[in-house]
Amino acid sequence: MAPFALAFAYDMLPSRVVFGVGCLDKLPEEIERLGATRALVLSTPEQRKEGQQMVDRLGARAVGLFDQAVMHVPIEIAEQAREQAKALGADCCVAVGGGSTTGLAKAIALVSTLPILSIPTTYAGSEMTPIWGITESGLKKTGRDPRVLPKTVLYDPTLTVTMPPLLSATSGMNSIAHCVEALYSKDANPIVSMLAEEGIRALATGLPVVVKEPANLDARSNALYGAWLGGISLGAVGMALHHKLCHTLGGSFNLPHAETHTVVLPYATAYTASAVPQAMSRIARALGSSSAAQGLYDLAASLGAPTSLAALGLKAADLDKAADIAVQNPYYNPRPITREGIRALLQDAFEGRRPQ
């Protein structure tokens, strides 16, 4: 594209990022930098140990640990955490964990304006976005609010070595999905596209090593660096068909978040490919493949990740309903959405055939 034809709007999101092996040692000084003295640490029950480690590192600057974060932030858990933050007089939240724990911190920040310091241990990328989600009566509401964007993020690859290979692979593919859709977003802009392409490259380089050698800190650093870029991409520009389909499948059929992203991504990419050839070349280049969709499929398969919706437990009988829900409300995609096209996409994803 010639420079004179460029036209875009880009909101840079304000957050401080500290990255590197061992950067967790800076936690106390980073809390001090936020001007906070009473941190409430958040974790899932499974990562209580990590939560307690943060409490210990913070010493007198920690007021407690709330270890009940779960997937999709149920309102009941959000209310409990909000009450605990209030009762303890917390003046900031420290979220150690994946998207579920960061999501709980966001639910607190949404009503209290408490600043969040996030310590990600997966590749989900929520820590770089102003997007919150809360589930009430089985429905997940989402929204954007600058108050929920973490003020500080500590990316220490050491904390990701405990991620089992399957979670590493699917969480990594989830992050690649943010990068892929950023490249053909309706809000796409040159800076985010550069970050997104680099994010795919870093994840595609790091993940194959990570699943074989979970403790390899060079590979873990590469993957986490890519995940950071994926998070920026998700936070900066709107997503499209792929994210809509995953939201539908997760919300209506209770399919697991990262696994669903992993399975659907090659098919959503194949569906959209003809409308955005430049974006596809960049994705393929970053993957070191001749085709974006096939490169994504091959990467997922090589990581040992699931490649079909059938493997995730979806029933063939659900495909018609899934297609109906996915086309109910209009949304942006470079290639227009048709019921027939989406039904065919879902059939391919159900069977897990390599996209053509």
Query: Shortest Cβ contact with ligand NAD: which residue?
Result: 99
Q: Are 21 and 158 in contact (CB under 8 A)?
A: yes
Distance CA 12, CA 220 (A): 27
- Dihedral sign, CA of 39, 44, 48, 50? negative
Q: What is the largest CA-CA distance in the chain?
A: 60
By CB under 6 A, is residue 258 in contact with ligand NAD? Answer: yes
Question: For ligand NAD, which is the closer residue by CB, 131 or 310?
Answer: 131
By CB under 6 A, is residue 115 in contact with ligand NAD? Answer: no
By CB under 6 A, the count of residues binding ligand NAD is 28
Distance CA 182, CA 198 (A): 12
By CB under 6 A, is residue 46 in contact with ligand NAD? Answer: yes
By CB under 6 A, is residue 226 in contact with ligand NAD? Answer: no
Q: Which one among 51, 74, 125, 157 touches ligand NAD, defined by CB under 6 A?
A: 125
By CB under 6 A, is residue 168 in contact with ligand NAD? Answer: no
Residues 322/323/324/326 CA torsion (nearest 10 deg): 80
Closest distance to ligand NAD from the beta carbon of 138 (Å)? 14
Distance CA 115, CA 108 (A): 9
Distance CA 132, CA 105 (A): 9
**Candidates 52-60, 91-99, 277-285, 301-309; binding stretch for ligand NAD (CB under 6 A):** 91-99
Closest distance to ligand NAD from the beta carbon of 162 (Å)? 4
Closest distance to ligand NAD from the beta carbon of 205 (Å)? 20
- Between the two ends of the chain, the Cα-to-Cα distance in Å is 28
Q: Which residues of 5-18 are buried (b: 16+ CB within 10 A; e: fewer)?
A: eeeeeeeeeebebb
By CB under 6 A, is residue 80 in contact with ligand NAD? Answer: no
Which residues, 260 to 319, sit near ligand NAD by CB under 6 A?
none
Residue closest to 309 by CA, chosen among 246, 229, 251, 355:
246
By CB under 6 A, is residue 158 in contact with ligand NAD? Answer: no
Question: For ligand NAD, which is the closer residue by CB, 158 or 281?
Answer: 158
Residues at the contact surface with ligand NAD, assessed by CB under 6 A: 44, 46-47, 71-72, 97-101, 103, 121-122, 124-126, 129, 131, 133, 159-160, 162-163, 167, 171, 234, 257-258
